[in-house]
Amino acid sequence: MPSVPHPIPYQGSKRRLAPRILKHVPARVDRLIEPFAGSAALSLAAASHQRAASFLLGDSLPDLAALWQAILDHPEHLADDYARLWHAQHDDPHAFYDDVRATWNRQGGPARLLFLLARCVKNAVRFNADGAFNQSPDHRRRGTRPERMRQHLLGAHALLHGRTRAVAADYAELLAEARTTDLVYLDPPWEGTSTHRDPRYHQGLDRPRFLRDIESLLDRGVPFLISLDGRLGSRTYGQPLPDSLGLTRLELPAGRSSQATLHGSTARTIESLYLSPSLARHH
């Protein structure tokens, strides 16, 4: 697979898994919908292989949707703003990061969010109970260099501009407009990393509601793929989807866990991919 731009560093991104997931995407669909867009890794991979005529990216975090809109509309300006932030951090990186984080929590801003994602520990978005971004900076690095970030931003723009819509919305709003000629890819936060006891993301996943929404897609004949649960060695994350939905469950090797590597472990991550019946019949 050719190199695919990846401008938004995001823990949980399916960048490494995208080639494996893409094998289960039809040769051509009218529109690929990612209601939990995040880094939009699958849309970027699909666009690079001309697998969809258009794309719909959605995220319930408004500034993440705004970041994608900035990539679609004016990537050069975004690259300039990111570069200014990146170069301004060097006198006191930790204090500068804290200032950008505090400013983003008050005022938002796509370039600030991009800087925080590039600089924070493990590129992991974390929010406190009040909804404020509270992840710490990674002291070992300074984030993606501006020249490389510009390449990724312009590359993503070239792939998606003119045929992509980015919206801040609850995932169900995007599912409601999905048609049988579309393909929906659902990649919600893993259960176990977004519960009330561990509120890392700005919004968790309501499992009963999610299951009802999947049933609605099935009733309407909309093809879809879901990444939901997984395991690291003997430790599992999230509950498998019920057999009663009639989905085909595949296990995709996602490589060695970075956390496991730090601790000298050989454990590897396995992620589940669920195929709707119409997709499973073609594989």
- Angle between helix 93-107 and helix 110-119 axes, rounded to 10 deg: 140
At 198 the pLDDT is 46
pLDDT tens readout for residues 193-227:
444 444 455 566 899 999 999 999 999 999 999 99
Only one residue has tokens 């801040």, namely 168
**pLDDT for the residue numbered 268:** 79
Residues of the chain with pLDDT under 70: 1-2, 190-204, 256-266, 283
Rounded-to-integer distance, Cα 106 and Cα 133, Å: 10
Query: pLDDT tens digits, residue range 88-133?
Result: 999 999 999 999 999 999 999 999 999 999 999 988 888 888 889 9
Instruction: Sort residue 175 into left (φ over 0), alpha (ψ -120 to 50) or beta.
Output: alpha
CA distance 60 to 201: 11
d(CA 263, CA 242): 34
* CA-based end-to-end distance of the chain: 20
Q: Residue 161 CA to chain centroid, in angstroms?
A: 18
